[in-house]
Structure 1
């Protein structure tokens, strides 16, 4: 009986080691500070990164939390990994701020975040149908980084 228990434990340990992440691989699932350079916004953002439902190895669920929450909207979506880059596409109700950053009008945007899975450096492309003060639609591009909290 004792040999069976030891043999079972050895099989369990071997299975655990075989399914573990490669040595040195950092898990992406955590909380991050989203640092967007040059975007006209007074908020700082935290991304809470969790597993997608259903779970998939090439998917991370992102929930964006603004600080302060005043005049900002949380957004969430699934980021998909391909060729070493994650891509997240989200509709943001207040993505473009016009006039006074605190009290001026806001315009919804379609934001596409694309970043390197290893360096956590990327680009945000924020598109809008109509610009500030009735200007034509367009897109702005900003560099960003994610810093694990």
Structure 2
């Protein structure tokens, strides 16, 4: 009789543990972040991360601004695929040349857990009418 009760309790605990098991890691926390990167030298960046509308658990809206208003701001939806968030923006001043700027297409990709990532910046024409190219930088997000 005691063995039957122990088995019943054990089975009930296993069922409840399975039903109450922690879900997959939570989506990226919403709020403000420092964008720590080796790309920009004139100003630091801050991101405001908000939920996408309509609500999608695999999407966050990212608004990037510089603290000194030196670079063009951007806004984009970042989508989570295989543990990495990613978005692409067209930057009117992404390539800094002596005396002028050129446009780039920048892709930000980062890990949902470590918040470390890369920036890939592609341009059609280089400084002083140079060849097209791609530049890479690293970054980390630090929650404020």
What TM-score does the superposition give when structure 1 sets the normalisation length? 0.77
Cα deviation for residue 96 of structure 1 reads: 1.0
Q: Per the alignment, in what secondary structure is the counterpart of residue 128 of structure 2?
A: helix
Residue aligning to 2:46: 46
Change in 2 beyond 3 A, CA 1:85/1:23: closer
8 A Cα contact 2:85 2:110, kept in partner: yes
Give 5+ residue unaligned stretches, structure 2: 1-18
Residue aligning to 2:132: 137
Residue aligning to 2:119: 124
Q: Per the alignment, in what secondary structure is the counterpart of residue 35 of structure 1?
A: strand
Cα deviation for residue 53 of structure 1 reads: 1.5
What TM-score does the superposition give when structure 2 sets the normalisation length? 0.79
Change in 2 beyond 3 A, CA 1:41/1:107: farther
1:4-50 deviation line (CA, Å, top 9, x unaligned): xxxxxxxxxxxxxx9xx85984752111011112x253121100000
Q: Distance in 2 between matches of 1:80 and 1:23?
A: 16
Give 5+ residue unaligned stretches, structure 1: 1-17
Residue aligning to 2:63: 63
Runs of 4+ in 1 over 6 A off after TM superposition: none
Question: How many residues are matched?
Answer: 124
